[in-house]
């Protein structure tokens, strides 16, 4: 599946409209501890987390995840959105809890 | 063998918004050089963990990355408190990070273990009250 497939589901709101959604999503990855995510997030994965700060973006770009999904209604301020756009990382927000969000995205594959 | 490239970065302490800039820049340069994605990922992880450690634990320092035809060498020299017990610091899960750092999602005691896991060699020299220098190499 592509990142764009996630944007077609009404449960997910794209926070980075200027970023290309053409990347492939091969896996789902759920983790809130950046220390763990740094070592374990698979490249090409969709990373579902409630941790939203500048370091989340750094970890995402360094591990080459395809997109970030912020669960539980967590969002990003404008500065962070702009940074995500400049780093070419697609970020979604959803009201769903982490497990439900990941399960739903998995079912879209 | 002469070095193909040498990169230097200054890291300031407590500046979490900039932590990761050196790793990102090195990653871009390695991509331009056509280094394999697997090696780039290992360099990015090892260097980012090191960079974060310098921000959390030290009062800043300097990162030097040299790229030769055989390997990438990353030297992270900080001015900081030093590491009293390196064996303990290398244990996964051991951390002395303060609460504000944990609130950001760090401080799980995975930094040095991740650095070791992703590099081919790691050498740590430390002096209490002076600072720590970590040298990591990753073979090409």
Cβ contact (<8 Å) for A55 and B20? yes
Number of domains in chain A: 1
- Cβ neighbors of A66 (< 8 A, separation 6 or more) are A3, A23, A24, A25, A26, A44, A45, A46, A90
Token readout for B46 is 């090892």
pLDDT of residue A35: 86
Interface membership of A82 toward B (CB under 8 Å): no
pLDDT at B133 over 70: yes
pLDDT of residue A5: 97
Structure tokens, B94: 């051991």
Q: Which of A43, A53, A56 sits opposite B41 (nearest CB)?
A: A43
pLDDT 10s digits, A50-82: 999 999 999 999 999 999 999 999 999 999 999
Contact at CB, B110 and A43, closer than 8 angstroms: no
Mean pLDDT of chain B: 92
CA distance A22 to B12: 36
CA distance A32 to chain B (A): 7
Query: Which chain A residues touch B97 with a CB distance below 8 Å?
Result: none
3-state secondary structure A42-77: CCCEEEEECCCCHHHHHHHHHHCCCEEEECCCCCCC
Closest-CA distance, B24 to chain A, in angstroms, reads 7
What is the pLDDT at residue B15?
A: 77
Q: How far is B65 from chain A (nearest CA, A)?
A: 17
Contact B104 A62 (CB under 8 A): no
Q: What residues of chain A, 15 to 34, have a C-beta less than 8 Å from chain B?
A: 32-34
Q: pLDDT for B39-71, tens place per residue?
A: 999 999 999 999 999 999 999 899 999 999 999
Domain residues for the domain of A8 are 3-108
| Distance between CA atoms of residues B42 and A101, nearest Å | 29
User: pLDDT, tens digit, for every residue of A29-40?
Assistant: 999 999 899 989
Q: Specify the pairing of strand B131-139 against strand B121-127.
A: antiparallel
Q: What is the average pLDDT value for chain A, to the nearest integer?
A: 95
Question: pLDDT band at residue B20, thresholds of 50, 70 and 90?
Answer: confident
Residues from chain B that touch A36, judged by Cβ atoms under 8 A, are 108, 110
**Predicted-assembly ipTM surpassing the 0.95 threshold:** no
pLDDT band at residue B1 using 50, 70 and 90 as cut-offs: low
Domains located in chain B, CATH noted: 5-139 (3.30.565.10)
Tell me, rounded to whole angstroms, the distance of Cα A62 from its chain centroid. 14
Q: Is the pLDDT of residue B103 over 90?
A: no
CATH classification of the domain holding A86: 3.40.1390.20
Mean pLDDT of A45-51: 97
* Percent share of chain A, pLDDT over 90: 94
Give the mean pLDDT of A7-23: 96
Q: Is A73 helix (H, G, I), strand (E, B) or coil?
A: coil
């Amino acid at each position: 599946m592509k990142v764009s497939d996630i944007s077609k589901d009404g449960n997910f709101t794209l926070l980075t409209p200027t970023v290309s959604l053409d990347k492939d999503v091969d896996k789902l990855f759920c983790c809130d501890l950046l220390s763990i995510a740094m070592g374990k997030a698979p490249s090409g994965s969709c990373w579902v987390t409630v941790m939203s700060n500048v370091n989340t973006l750094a970890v995402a770009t360094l591990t080459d995840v395809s997109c970030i999904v912020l669960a539980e209604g967590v969002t990003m301020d404008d500065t962070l959105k702009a940074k995500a756009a400049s780093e070419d990382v697609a970020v979604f927000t959803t009201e769903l809890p982490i497990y439900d969000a990941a399960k739903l995205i998995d079912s879209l594959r | 063998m002469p070095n193909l490239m040498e990169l230097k970065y200054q890291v300031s302490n407590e500046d979490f918004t900039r932590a990761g800039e050196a790793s990102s820049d090195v990653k871009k340069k390695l991509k331009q050089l056509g280094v394999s994605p697997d090696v780039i990922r290992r360099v990015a992880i090892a260097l980012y963990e090191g960079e974060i450690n310098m921000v959390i634990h030290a009062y800043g320092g300097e990162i030097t990355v040299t790229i030769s035809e055989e390997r990438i060498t990353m030297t992270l020299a900080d001015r900081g408190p030093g590491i009293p017990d390196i064996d303990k610091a290398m244990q996964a899960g051991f951390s002395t990070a303060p609460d504000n750092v944990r609130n950001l999602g760090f401080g799980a005691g995975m930094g040095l273990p991740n650095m070791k896991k992703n590099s081919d060699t790691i050498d740590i020299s430390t002096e209490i009250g002076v600072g720590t220098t970590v040298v990591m190499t990753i073979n090409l």
